Structure 1
Amino acid sequence: MAGFSELIKNFEKTRDYVRDFFIYGYKVRNDFDKKSARTYDDEKRRVESWLGDYLVYDDSVRGKQVAISVDSDKIAENPLYQAFYTRSFTDNDIRLHFLLLDIMCDGEQYTARQLTDMLYEGFQFSLDEQTVRNKLKEYEEEGIMLSEKRGRSVFFRLSGDFAEDWLDSEGLIDAVSFFSETQEFGLVGNSILKMLGLKNQLFFMKHYYIVHALEDEVMLTVLDAMEKHRTITIKSFSRIREEKGEIAAVPLQVLSSVQTGRRFLAAWLPESGRFFSFRLDYMPMPKVGGVFEEFDDVMARYRKIIKRSFGVSLYEVEGAEPLRLVISADEEKEQFIVERLRREKRCGTLEKTGENEFTVTLDVCDPNEAMKWVKTFIGRIKRIEGGTEGIRRRFYSDIERMYQLYGGDSDEDIQ
């Protein structure tokens, strides 16, 4: 029977577990339905070994809930980076790594066949040539090695670039420290610091969405496909994580919410002929496909529709009219309301339509997406026009329900 190990083989599984049980903190042991309860215990022990100083425990009627609790402006390093340093490897992997570097440190060039022979002759390490060639190609992609084709043979040598040659420049370590705590691919900067035995001591981020570290592998694949105008294949998913097949998509842009910190992928779905946005934190690792020949045409259409999106909805609601919100605000005493309307209207327009009366017009593709923002002005809204009949009816229904909950009876004082 296999024993417990802190190392992981499948980061995708660990990413789901960390997100659902530790980031959002709404699940308990009984909600774990991937495998057995023992699997839950092993995953819990593994994450506790990485994040023990940042975990809080709460007993509820459903069971013990475990969550990450950090004050982001008091941590110098994203604790979730630790998950990336616990990938498992075989004995052959680690042995091959060091032996290849030892052989090639002389600066000479070798073919995969030559290296295979040298591994056996010098170290009695027997591997097939294809295994060695795959490792050399992997290191070439990572910049550790360079290749040169001579006739039908490919020769490999170690790259002459070393971190020490670059990081002696004044201020560069500070720049890497800053980069290690940025929200996109900060793991790269953190890895450089760890390699040099350094830690970030300078930069502490106030608004720091540490969960983005779990999405970076997915986003890297998406951005690579986007740059090369390729399609991606995504396992269809929902909030309850029921996989129902695969979706072919053309990635167009990554959108980031300044309110929640969530990141979304805006994409074109060729099969259904429409635009759609996916939440990155729930997206499984996609597979990159072939080149999408109509990328430029679709991108041109996307640039037009994103200008009319209030958030991330790219769905053109049929029959929707521009949504008009008439707000009452005292121009002398409540100028901050006017400023807020001007600041938050996004793609809308603001005009004064009467004494102490202002109208925001939102000509957006999906008016329903703006309604949460509209409701933050309850108590100042004089009327709502346009949009769709269903949106207006739902708004007034919500007001009526709220009055029933909080308004009290006509002869009853509100407590």
Structure 2
Amino acid sequence: MAYSELIKNFDHIRGYMQEFFIYGFKSRDEYDAKSARSYDNERRRIQSYLGELVSFRQNASGKNVFISLDGRGTTHNPLYKAFKAKSFTNKDITLHFIVMDILADEEDHSLKELIQIIDEEYLSFFEKPMCFDESTLRKKLKEYEQLGLIDCRKEGKTLYYRLARDEIRLEAYRDAIRFFAEEDPLGVVGSYLEDKYDAAQEYLRFKNHYIMNAYDTQIIEAVLQGIHEKRQIEVTNYSPKGKQERNWLVIPLKLYVSTQGGRNYLMCRAVRTDRWFCFRIDYIRKIKVGETCKEYEQYLREFQEIAKHTWGVAFDKNKKMQHIEIDLLIGKEEKHIIRRLERERRCGTFIQIDEQTYRFMADVWDAYEMVPWIRTFLGRIKAVKCSNEEVTNRLKADIVEMAKMYQLL
């Protein structure tokens, strides 16, 4: 098949981007999942829409391709371009513009009228014109109706079509759309809306700009559909450790988004067993929305109880919860630290022990998930008690390492 810069299978692009730019910076010789020719074609497609952002480094193992960008100068997610480079057939694109041109008169047209106009006013000028039958046109019109591009009304047994009225004034939502496009898991929708605006001077900058989540958009859309419609979903999850895929039939309950690393997680329950799972969205290879779950509300209530003791994404209601207590030194004039504790704690409580000591207490499924947060208070910690010894040992090791760094030991 001849090479084309347009993208026919988005899953291929997503797979290559994850393999080379997220998980490993591999060279061509190190990648054995596909043929060398397939690798070359996909790399050229990626480079065609990312342009100067694609760089490479030559070393002993070969040429390693990677993305290099300066967050200060890149305010629009460049990876959205992949969605706008979808392949199409000559017949599809021709029929699209013909139909849009006919319906531009804002009048109602039946299927037979459209066929007649296409034949007489468009195709008749070609020696070897394309052929569009009623079945093809009917399917295309139904697709456009579902997308909201056209309106359809029935009069007797005849269906009439016209362009949908666009009554939304996007300019009033410009700031909201600009923010949504970069921060929401489905931000690509905002990017499409932004294409309707005239170019304007950029005025937003993002401290944490997690652009790689763009390639998980289709997976996230299906997850959110399952949650919104209370349906089961079938996911094909990839395990990097075992290097194998496994299918799961689950009930999606929540989509968690990490503000620290930008990763997305699916919190769900298995359909056939009383097991709860957390899947990383970027490890989900395939997803399919299934039938409605009658017990959805019951499972959601169960999860909400579990989530009360979840610090991150780890949970297992079949295991015993871990108790942790942290005594912090907080001065009288440091009310901002107390406000920070109140704002950042995801569960648990804190009480005042004396004038300058506050105790934070929590029962969680995995106390080790709290370590990065606890580290931010190292200079204030007076005592730590935890039923999980790994937590206290890790914190002690951190303090010793820091003391050595400052030559205090």
TM-score, normalised with respect to structure 2: 0.83
Worse-matched range after superposition: 278-287 or 396-405: 396-405
Separation (CA, whole Å) in 1 of partners of 2:240 and 2:292: 30
Q: How far apart are the structure 2 equivalents of 1:47 and 1:126?
A: 34
* Worse-matched range after superposition: 193-202 or 325-334: 325-334
Tell me by how many angstroms 1:310 deviates. Answer: 0.6
Q: Secondary structure at the match of 2:245?
A: coil
SS in 2 for 1:181: helix
Match in the other structure for 1:19: 18
Which shifted more, 240-249 or 377-386?
Answer: 377-386
How many correspondences in the alignment?
A: 400
Q: Does 1:149 align with 2:154?
A: yes
1:238 aligns with 2:243: no
Alignment correspondent of 1:263: 264
Partner residue, 1:136: 141
Distance 1:55 1:25 in 2: 15
Deviations 1:214-236 (A, max 9, x none): 22222222222221112211112
Q: Aligned equivalents of 1:119 and 1:125: distance in 2? A: 10
Q: CA RMSD in A?
A: 3.4
**Deviation larger for 141-150 or 64-73:** 64-73
| CA distance in structure 2 between the partners assigned to 1:115 and 1:250 by the alignment | 44
1:156-185 deviations in Å (ceiling 9; x for gaps) = 22212277xx24x6x544554444434343
**Distance in structure 1 (CA, Å) of the matches to 2:60 and 2:377:** 37
C-alpha distance in structure 2 between counterparts of 1:336 and 1:161, whole Å = 48
Match of 2:366 in 1: 366
Q: Distance in 1 between matches of 2:395 and 2:208?
A: 33
1:3 counterpart residue number: 2
Following superposition, the deviation at residue 14 of structure 1 comes to: 0.5
Unaligned runs of 5+ in 2: 124-128
Corresponding residue for residue 194 of structure 1:
195
Partner of 1:278: 279
| Residues 1:72 and 2:77 aligned together | no
Q: CA deviation at 1:316?
A: 1.9
Is the CA contact (8 Å cut-off) linking 2:375 and 2:395 kept in structure 1?
Answer: no
Residue 346 of structure 1 corresponds to which residue in structure 2? Answer: 346
Taking a change above 3 Å as real, the CA distance of residues 53 and 374 of structure 1, as seen in their structure-2 partners, is: same
For 1:302, the aligned partner's letter is F
Q: Name the aligned partner's letter for residue 280 of structure 2.
A: R
Q: Does residue 41 of structure 1 match 2:40? A: yes
Tell me the CA shift for residue 357 of structure 1.
5.5
Of 197-206 and 247-256, deviating more is 197-206
Determine the structure 1 residue equivalent to 2:226: 225
Confirm or deny: 8 A CA contact 1:324 1:359 kept in the other structure. no
- Aligned partner letter, 1:148: R
Identity %: 32
Is the CA contact 1:316–1:366 (under 8 Å) kept in the aligned structure 2? no
In 1, distance between residues paired with 2:181 and 2:403? Answer: 51
Distance 2:199 2:93 in 1: 24
Taking structure 1 as reference, are residues 126 and 52 closer, same or farther at Cα in structure 2, changes over 3 Å only? closer
Partners in 2 of 1:397 and 1:308 — Cα distance?
22
2:54 alignment partner in structure 1: 55
Per the alignment, in what secondary structure is the counterpart of residue 303 of structure 1? helix
Q: How does 1:115-130 map to 2 (within 5 A)?
A: 115-122=114-121, 123=123, 124-130=129-135
Residue 17 of structure 1: how far off its partner (Å) = 1.4
**Which residue does 2:27 correspond to in 1?**
28
What is the aligned partner in structure 2 of residue 212 from structure 1? 213
C-alpha contact 1:73 1:204 (8 A) present in aligned 2: yes
Q: Cα gap change, 1:162/1:404 in structure 2, threshold over 3 Å: closer, same or farther?
A: closer
Distance 1:37 1:101, change over 3 A: same
Distance 1:28 1:241, change over 3 A: farther
CA distances 1:249-298 after superposition (whole Å, capped 9, x unpaired): 22222211121121212222212223322222232342111111111111
Deviation at residue 339 of structure 1 after TM alignment: 6.8
Distance 1:109 1:125 in 2: 24
The one-character-per-residue Cα deviations of 1:113-165 (angstroms, maximum 9, x if unpaired) are 553454345425423433222211221122111112345543322212277xx
Question: By how many angstroms is 1:404 displaced?
Answer: 11
| TM-score (normalizing by structure 1) | 0.82
In structure 1, what is the equivalent of residue 126 of structure 2? none
| Secondary structure in 2 matching 1:363 | strand
Q: Do the aligned residues in 1 keep the contact of 2:321 with 2:363 (CA within 8 Å)?
A: no
SS at match of 1:135: helix
C-alpha distance 251-149 of structure 1, shift in aligned 2 (>3 A): farther
Aligned-pair CA distance for 1:66? 2.5
Once residues 13 and 361 of structure 1 are traced to their aligned partners in structure 2, the CA distance between those partners, rounded to angstroms, is 47
